A and B are shown apart, each in its own frame.
Chain A
Amino acid sequence: MTAIARSRALPSSLRLTMSYLVLTVGAVIILIPFIWMVSTSLKPPTELFIYPPRLFPTVIRWQNYLEAPSASFIPLRLAVWNSLLFAIPVAFFDVLSSAIVAFGFARLRFRGSNVLFFIVLSTMMLPPQVTMIPLFILFSRLGWVNTYLPLVVQALFGWNYAIFLLRQFFASIPEELDNAARIDGCGWGGIFLRIHLPLAKAALGIVAILSFTGSWSEYLRPLIYLKNPLLWPLALALQTFQGGKTNRWEYLMVMSILLTIPPLVLFFVAQRRYIQGIVISGVKG
């Protein structure tokens, strides 16, 4: 009992101070690579290869941000456009199709719905690489290589994470609202469109953001399907710098920062709900 009393007596202020200390050290370790990224992007070439390296540049060279995009083999504007060209339709269709499917699971009673929902959950554990080869053969037979269709078409059929997330959300909407709408003459479609979709705006927004950032960052499928570099999204176009063997790390970091800005902004805009979305689905989009 005395031992316990002592351990409890350990001043909680000391414990808090220790916690702050450990957390702050952790946060600094996490942040240093970011600082290095930004500082490299602002360094003149002469400060890049000095020994020992400096964390902060002595001269700040903003011109890097103007020069890097034009030094790229694929013009920055084209690469950004390419990214948007498939990321926006994918986000749109992901939201739409997943909301429809999620509503079916949340509200309608039909035989097999439990089994089917279990299948939705199981597909989350299935690595996409397992179906990658036959899908490539299929899409290339259809003549879809060098188009964005292979990247977009699957979004028409629902995204498992989003179905799960939205199903949870729809299920939390009180059924009294459905009944009220039914009395007003709404069918299932009306209940979905007039009650559930408007109430789920925030959740739909999060699905759109997670889907968009996922496509924006995606690497493997664009690499497989887009053989023509002029079609490459920014995430892929970044490669051409490294391939240049120019050792222009300041330019490479500028481009990496430009690639990071959209997901970062979206994260901060919707931070609270973004985190909720990740916690509910348990994984990042």
Chain B
Amino acid sequence: MQKVQESLLERGAGRTGQASKRIGVARRTKRQQQEERIGWLFVSPFVIGFVLFTVGPMLVSFVLSFTDASMLKPAVFVGLENYTTLFSTDEIRSLFWRTLYNTSYYVLISVPLGMALGFGMAILLNQKLRGQGIYRTLFYLPSIIPPVAVSLLWVWIFHQEFGLLNAALRVVGIDGPAWLTSTTWAKPALILVSLWGAGGGLLVFLAGLQGVSTDLYDAAKVDGAGAWSRFWRVTIPMMSPTLFFVLVTSIISSFQVFVTALIMTNGGPANATLMYVLYLYRLAFVQFRMGPASALAWAYFVIIMGFAGLLFATGRAWVYYESDLLGGKKQ
């Protein structure tokens, strides 16, 4: 990321420099014009794709959200009805608040816990250890398994009588619950599955830690800082861009939880694990109520962007940028 910014700066500086210095203006401009055309040609696939598959669909879905569109009959304009229905607290009309609660519960527990685990393990790994690579691979392994396979495996692990988890709990004298059919335990069960895959963040943290200059630690040692204060005064500030980056991306990606909720519990029991995207999927592709589903999708967009905006606003207060723009990639 550092490189991006550097090269962006270089480029900006280069352009003003060129304008004032060049003497062979006409020839230069012609070449520049050509470069400009070819530049746009190279990036045109992205531009076309962005208009066709992002901007266009978002506008269409905005319009659809004010209609009663379904796949069966022509759409009729219904004004704000989809939105008023959506935000209704009457659960027969809309499960919006329920799904928002479920998803927030999931995100607000699984993201901090997952990050803490990943960061903790990364710090332990970032020492002169033998087998560092092996540990790193082992921790990352669950992230490679397709989510469907992960879900099926954990359904079996959570099996009340014959599952592995309750067998382990029995050893320590705990009578485990019926995880996936209990309204109390179904959400924690999904969180547990997400924690098993927390190794993705670990990779990014480890790379970030390895990029923190040892000079800083040496300087802190000379100043008499113990391990604890070196951690808080050096590691945390230097890692704050990486922590921030992982925080934002994990919140956005765990807000999209779908496959585990669909396969492991199908939203049940009693809607206890009905997550936002699962509800969106049901409205749009099971009930084919495209109008209300579009309203739900737009609300989703606003929520995600609101979250991201909030994070970026508060991020200024605690993220320490040495020189880079967004993430903490030192390479």
Contacts and interface: CB of A to CB of B under 8 A. Distances in A.
A143 to B, nearest CB: 14
Contacts, number: 276
Contact of B64 (A8, A133, A242): A133
B49 A27 contact: no
* Size range of the chain B interface in the assembly: 35 or more
A135 interface: yes
Contact of B285 (A33, A55, A224, A239): A224
A198 interface: no
A188 B60 CA distance: 37
B108 interface: no
A129 B277 contact: yes
Interface in A265-285: 267, 271, 275, 278-280, 282-284
Which of A121, A130, A253 gathers the greatest number of chain B CB atoms within 10 Å? Answer: A130
B3 A168 contact: yes
Nearest to B228: A7
B196 A259 contact: no
Interface in A60-112: 97, 100-101, 103-105, 108-111
Interface in A21-41: 22-23, 26-27, 30-34, 36-37, 40
Given A27-B139, A31-B138, A129-B300, A134 B204 contact: no
A216 B147 CA distance: 11
Contacts of B226: 3-4, 7-8
Interface stretch (B76-84, B162-170, B313-321): B162-170
A242 B180 CA distance: 15
A126 B256 CA distance: 11
Interface stretch (B85-93, B94-102, B183-191, B246-254): B246-254
Contacts of A256: 148-149, 152-153
A36 B58 contact: no
A172 interface: yes
B17 interface: no
Given A23-B124, A116-B46, A259-B148, A133 B294 contact: yes
- Residue among A31, A51, A127, A133 with max Cβ neighbours from chain B (10 Å): A133
A259 B43 contact: no
Contacts of B245: 282
A156 B43 contact: no
Contact of B203 (A52, A213, A275): A275
B19 interface: no
A242 B148 CA distance: 11
Contact of B256 (A37, A109, A127, A163): A127
A131 B284 contact: no
Interface in B206-254: 207, 221, 224-228, 245-246, 248-249, 252-253
A97 B127 contact: no
B146 A23 contact: no
B25 interface: no
A100 B224 contact: no
A263 B326 contact: no
B154 to A, nearest CB: 7
B116 interface: no
Would you call the interface of chain A mostly helix, strand, loop, or mixed?
helix
B114 to A, nearest CB: 13
B113 interface: no
- Identify the interface centre among B149, B156, B263, B290: most chain A CB within 10 Å of its CB: B149
A217 to B, nearest CB: 3
Interface of A: 1, 3-4, 7-8, 10, 16, 19-20, 22-23, 26-27, 30-34, 36-37, 40, 48-53, 55, 97, 100-101, 103-105, 108-111, 113-114, 116-117, 119-121, 123, 125-127, 129-138, 140, 154, 156-158, 163, 167-168, 171-172, 188, 192, 213, 216-217, 219-220, 223-224, 235-236, 238-239, 242, 249, 252-253, 256-257, 259-260, 263-264, 267, 271, 275, 278-280, 282-284
25 contacts: A23-B121, A26-B121, A30-B141, A33-B196, A52-B170, A109-B11, A109-B32, A125-B308, A126-B54, A126-B304, A131-B54, A133-B293, A134-B56, A134-B64, A137-B64, A157-B45, A188-B38, A219-B146, A220-B281, A238-B152, A253-B153, A256-B153, A263-B145, A278-B203, A282-B327
Interface of B: 3-4, 7-8, 11-12, 14-15, 32, 35-43, 45-50, 52-54, 56-58, 60-61, 64, 69, 71, 121, 124-125, 127-129, 135-149, 152-157, 161-164, 167, 170, 196, 199-200, 203-204, 207, 221, 224-228, 245-246, 248-249, 252-253, 255-256, 258-259, 263, 277, 280-281, 284-285, 290, 293-294, 297-298, 300-301, 304, 308, 326-327, 329, 331
